A and B are shown apart, each in its own frame.
Chain A
Amino acid sequence: MRLPSLTRTKPEAPNVHAEPLWSLRPQSDREAGDAVVSNFMLHWFPAKISKAAMAWSYSFWLGTISAALFFLLILSGLPLLFLYVPSVERAYQSVKDIEFVITFGSWIRAVHRISAHLMVIVVVLHLVRVFLTGAYKNGVGRGQQREVNWVIGVVMFLTTLFLSFTGYLLPWDQLAFWAVTVGTNIASSIPAIGPGVRELLIGGRNIDQPTLIRFYVLHVVFLPGLLGVLFAYHMWRVRKDGGLARADAETVLESARATEVVPTKTYTLLGMARGTAPTVTARTMAAPNTTVNAVPDLTRRALIATLGTIAVVSIMSVFIASPLEEPANALITPNPAKAPWYFLWLQEIVTDTTIRIGSFTLNGAFVGGVILPGVLVGLLTFWPWLDRSSLRAAGVWLPRERRRQNIVFLLLILGVLLLTFVGMVLRGPYWNFYWPWEIWPEIPGRI
């Protein structure tokens, strides 16, 4: 196998890719483009990319970081697959062994756990970024379907949450057991079908071995597979849609100055024949000062984002130990019993909308656990079709035209964050409210 050549010779024949690998230092645009064409992993990159779309301050590279975290989760999950035993008798023991005696075990588990939590955070941030920049809006290219990619993104976000939630149960400790109890109880408050949904989810009426094996298979096979497929489609769509919306915004700005738009680049032969392939205008793409070669400028940044993520997670994992509480016990409810942190805003709403009048209780689980998240996710999914702003408001941070919807969106996000904070930090035993400086009653021990 040849190493990437640093000093390279000319291809032997025109249009033949002599290099099995790519050059780290392409001498010409042609050579830089060859790298993309001849390499499977780089195939989803265009040969050239607009500088604006590559800027750290536009996308914060949150999508790449999410992907890096997903990659890290698969990588750290593989050794755990060999070590973890998905049985109620042995799961807890096997996690103890991972923690205490497996070489690098506690670090691997911490990497897996921290990546999972970070992935939820980064995916949310990515979604927020796309919303605030109106990046789900189509630009000037033909055949663009960014709104479809937005819907795919929302599904990927929900898959990420469900992945994290199914992983939560696996250590089979009190934290796992009761977080999943609280989480699945919310599902059972859907009228009519709720109890059935819960039963399907946990494989019975109690959380036991059938729940563990369901969650395990969902966690290690089904959901990662689904996320992988969605991820591939998500990336393909980005390419089909002519890159980030930012690139379109550049074109729009350019075309304001000149009127003539010349389609010069297309991606599929059939698409070209039908006239449905996305095209990128010659002006922006050809202009030497607005674009750079994907190899090495884009790949280098992708490498920085990926390796940077790995480095940060690796160091965090040395210092942040993963919790493992008492073995799961259906007879003892820890006080307070909390859902996983990303569902705490829902748990908080459930409590706040539960109304007690005398002995009569109006359960808030339906409002807080079903209606509200249902409406929010529904709005989120279909927002691209409700957003009536012009294409000038796409790919730009906080455009004036989208100011009102961005403010409402940010207020909703703020509300969710606030409720999450209340649920995480300010709720003590019996879900009573405690200020951070107030001390919770001491949790008793045995001896």
Chain B
Amino acid sequence: MEKRTSSPYPRIDRLVLAIVGVTLVIGTGLFMWSDRAHDWRYFQAEFRQMVAEKFGDDKAAILPSGVQQIWAGELSRADRCVTCHQAVNYKGFEQAEHPYRTHPAEPLKLHPQEDFGCTSCHGGQGWAIDTAAAHGEVAHWEEPLLSRTLGEEYTLAGNKNALMQMNCNTCHRYDRETKGAEAINLAKRLINEKGCRACHVVNGFGGTIGPDLTNVGEKAPEQYDMSRLSGQRTAFAWHMAHFKDPRALSAGTVMPNFNLTTEQAQALSMLMLSWRRQEIPARFVSGTPRTDPRSAEELKAEEAMKTGPGGWFVQTGCFVCHSISALGVRSPAQIGPDLSNAVEDVQSRFGVTIDAFLANPTGTMSVVLSRQIILTPEQKQVAIGKLREAFAEYQRQRGAPATAISK
């Protein structure tokens, strides 16, 4: 039989092959280990021990183990938070540290977890099973856990836990008052008091000078001009700074500075981010209003203002900044002076007659009348006529103090 060709390779190649083999085994060990190494194993073991100490080994033995999830199918949420937060439904750990703390019972009565999951209220990334990813403290996850810690990061003026109320308002946006959502309630009161709808459409009605705010929470962070913002570069921080001083963030804006307190600005920012477009199955919002409710009085007052003697000022848009109290027109913003006595007031402020001033305005009005409210000479004549009417009414009311309109 012929001999085999001798080869110089086996000596070294077998060694290389052996090294490759060992590397393969190491690699296999590594990926098996990395698949097992998760914090939840530690948290589950720890909780098991806590239950064993408090309620005995029998109770501990029946605790579920492995990855757990709440599947809120109608909201398309698979919330695996309960993998670590095993005590959520386990009475007796109300005072324990997170993640071993029992969930307060009250909110769960109306919002059962099996329907709502966890993240629809708390935020965070329900899919994840590691702390940082689940709490949304990772890149490319825009819904962080709305926790006390995050509230402290923003140095919230009031309740440090208030950020979560943003998610309440996803379903409760048409509520006037939502129990437990104090910051959102404050913001909603401010929306009415400050007359934001004079310039902004919210839920379908309002003025068109400013942008529609109905779904302002959908605006992506990339779509904000952050160039003048210092500190945290987030949409939330932008709104806070903008409410504090609109002109500092967006040059040339006509939005007035309402001198809001920090708490008010923060509450309003939360309200802005909560106004999102989200489809919610009907049964989830059965107890809440489905449109922005306006009371009969409010509608009547609005109608009276529009059709009353001062109706022209409402239609033209003057009322956004100016009340004309003599004619029953109340400005929601009240930035400018009351025009009831404009006829004499203009004379004392600018040293010209009302006719001359409107023909050739100065100061803020020169900007407003050249950009926001552009009047033809005929319309200006109507304005002057109306203002004289208002002044006559003003003097008449002054003469009879009993019927004076108080603002």
The answer to whether A binds B is yes
Instruction: Report B-chain residues with C-beta under 8 Å of the C-beta of A312.
Output: 23
User: Do residues B30 and A446 form an inter-chain contact, with CB atoms below 8 A?
Assistant: no
Given A29-B4, A100-B128, A301-B13; A447-B273 close (CB under 8 Å): yes
Instruction: Report A-chain residues with C-beta under 8 Å of the C-beta of B128.
Output: 96, 100
Q: Which of B2, B27, B233, B234 contacts A30 (CB 8 A)?
A: B2
Chain B, residues 130-144, CB within 8 Å of chain A (1/0): the string is: 100100000011111
User: Do residues B233 and A304 form an inter-chain contact, with CB atoms below 8 A?
Assistant: no
| CB contact list, B210-250 vs A, under 8 A | 220-224, 226, 233-236, 238
Instruction: Report A-chain residues with C-beta under 8 Å of the C-beta of B236.
Output: 446-447
Instruction: Report B-chain residues with C-beta under 8 Å of the C-beta of A48.
Output: 5
Q: Which of A27, A96, A97, A174 contacts B4 (CB 8 A)?
A: A27
Number of interface residues of B (CB under 8 A): 56
Stretch in A140-148, A268-276, A328-336 with 4+ CB within 8 Å of B: A328-336
User: Do residues B7 and A293 form an inter-chain contact, with CB atoms below 8 A?
Assistant: yes
Q: How far is the CA of A99 from the CA of B140 in the complex (A)?
A: 14
Instruction: Report A-chain residues with C-beta under 8 Å of the C-beta of B143.
Output: 446-447
Q: Does B34 interact with chain A (Cβ within 8 Å)? A: yes
Stretch in B14-22, B54-62, B92-100, B385-393 with 4+ CB within 8 Å of A: B14-22
Q: How far is the CA of A332 from the CA of B24 in the complex (A)?
A: 43
Q: Which of B13, B127, B234 contacts A446 (CB 8 A)?
A: B234
User: Do residues A303 and B17 form an inter-chain contact, with CB atoms below 8 A?
Assistant: yes
Q: How far is the CA of A308 from the CA of B21 in the complex (A)?
A: 8
Q: Does A317 interact with chain B (Cβ within 8 Å)? A: yes
Instruction: Report A-chain residues with C-beta under 8 Å of the C-beta of B23.
Output: 308, 311-312, 315
User: Do residues B140 and A304 form an inter-chain contact, with CB atoms below 8 A?
Assistant: no
User: Do residues A311 and B24 form an inter-chain contact, with CB atoms below 8 A?
Assistant: yes
User: Do residues A310 and B5 form an inter-chain contact, with CB atoms below 8 A?
Assistant: no
Q: Does B3 interact with chain A (Cβ within 8 Å)? A: yes
Q: Which of B14, B80, B133, B142 contacts A445 (CB 8 A)?
A: B142
Q: How far is the CA of A100 from the CA of B146 in the complex (A)?
A: 21
Q: How far is the CA of A318 from the CA of B187 in the complex (A)?
A: 48
User: Do residues A444 and B221 form an inter-chain contact, with CB atoms below 8 A?
Assistant: yes
Residue of A at shortest CB range from B1?
Answer: A28
User: Do residues B222 and A445 form an inter-chain contact, with CB atoms below 8 A?
Assistant: no
Instruction: Report B-chain residues with C-beta under 8 Å of the C-beta of A329.
Output: 220
Q: Does A93 interact with chain B (Cβ within 8 Å)? A: yes
Given A101-B80, A329-B220, A447-B273; A292-B9 close (CB under 8 Å): yes
Residue of B at shortest CB range from A303?
Answer: B17
Instruction: Report B-chain residues with C-beta under 8 Å of the C-beta of A32.
Output: 4-5
Instruction: Report A-chain residues with C-beta under 8 Å of the C-beta of B30.
Output: 314-315, 318
Nearest CB on A from B105, distance (A): 28
Q: Does B10 interact with chain A (Cβ within 8 Å)? A: yes
Instruction: Report B-chain residues with C-beta under 8 Å of the C-beta of A293.
Output: 4-5, 7
Q: Does B298 interact with chain A (Cβ within 8 Å)? A: no
Q: How far is the CA of A303 from the CA of B78 in the complex (A)?
A: 43
Q: Does B404 interact with chain A (Cβ within 8 Å)? A: no
| CB contact list, B15-67 vs A, under 8 A | 16-17, 20-21, 23-24, 26-28, 30-32, 34-35, 67
Q: How far is the CA of A300 from the CA of B16 in the complex (A)?
A: 10
User: Do residues A326 and B140 form an inter-chain contact, with CB atoms below 8 A?
Assistant: yes
Q: Does B184 interact with chain A (Cβ within 8 Å)? A: no
Instruction: Report B-chain residues with C-beta under 8 Å of the C-beta of A15.
Output: none
Nearest CB on A from B320, distance (A): 31
Instruction: Report A-chain residues with C-beta under 8 Å of the C-beta of B144.
Output: 447
Q: Which of A93, A304, A443 contacts B16 (CB 8 A)?
A: A304
Q: How far is the CA of A375 from the CA of B400 in the complex (A)?
A: 92
User: Do residues B27 and A291 form an inter-chain contact, with CB atoms below 8 A?
Assistant: no
Nearest CB on B from A304, distance (A): 5
Number of interface residues of A (CB under 8 A): 58
Q: Does B129 interact with chain A (Cβ within 8 Å)? A: yes
Q: Which of B17, B24, B234, B235 contacts A310 (CB 8 A)?
A: B24
User: Do residues B234 and A444 form an inter-chain contact, with CB atoms below 8 A?
Assistant: yes
Nearest CB on A from B169, distance (A): 14
User: Do residues A446 and B31 form an inter-chain contact, with CB atoms below 8 A?
Assistant: no
User: Do residues B27 and A318 form an inter-chain contact, with CB atoms below 8 A?
Assistant: yes
Instruction: Report A-chain residues with C-beta under 8 Å of the C-beta of B352.
Output: none
User: Do residues B1 and A324 form an inter-chain contact, with CB atoms below 8 A?
Assistant: no
Q: How far is the CA of A118 from the CA of B143 in the complex (A)?
A: 34
Nearest CB on B from A221, distance (A): 28
Residue of B at shortest CB range from A314?
Answer: B27
Nearest CB on B from A182, distance (A): 16
User: Do residues A31 and B221 form an inter-chain contact, with CB atoms below 8 A?
Assistant: no
Nearest CB on A from B119, distance (A): 13
Q: Does A387 interact with chain B (Cβ within 8 Å)? A: no
Given A300-B14, A311-B20, A318-B31; A446-B140 close (CB under 8 Å): no
Q: Does B196 interact with chain A (Cβ within 8 Å)? A: no
Instruction: Report A-chain residues with C-beta under 8 Å of the C-beta of B365.
Output: none
Q: Which of B8, B34, B133, B142 contacts A100 (CB 8 A)?
A: B133
User: Do residues B5 and A332 form an inter-chain contact, with CB atoms below 8 A?
Assistant: no
Instruction: Report B-chain residues with C-beta under 8 Å of the C-beta of A311.
Output: 20, 23-24, 26-27
Nearest CB on A from B74, distance (A): 14
What would 23 A/B residue contacts be, using CB atoms closer than 8 Å? A31-B4, A51-B8, A96-B127, A100-B130, A103-B35, A107-B31, A292-B8, A297-B7, A300-B9, A300-B14, A307-B20, A312-B23, A314-B31, A318-B30, A318-B34, A335-B222, A442-B233, A443-B221, A444-B238, A445-B233, A446-B143, A447-B163, A447-B235
Known: A310-B24, A311-B23, A326-B142; 11 extra A-B contacts, CB below 8 A, are: A29-B5, A103-B35, A107-B35, A174-B140, A292-B8, A318-B31, A329-B220, A444-B222, A445-B234, A446-B235, A447-B123
The 10 closest A-B pairs by CB, nearest first: A314-B27, A444-B221, A311-B23, A325-B140, A96-B127, A332-B220, A292-B7, A444-B233, A446-B142, A315-B27
Interface set of A (CB-CB < 8 Å, partner B): 10, 26-32, 48, 51, 54, 93, 96-97, 99-101, 103-104, 106-107, 173-174, 288, 291-293, 296-297, 300-301, 303-304, 307-308, 310-312, 314-315, 317-318, 323-326, 329, 331-335, 442-447
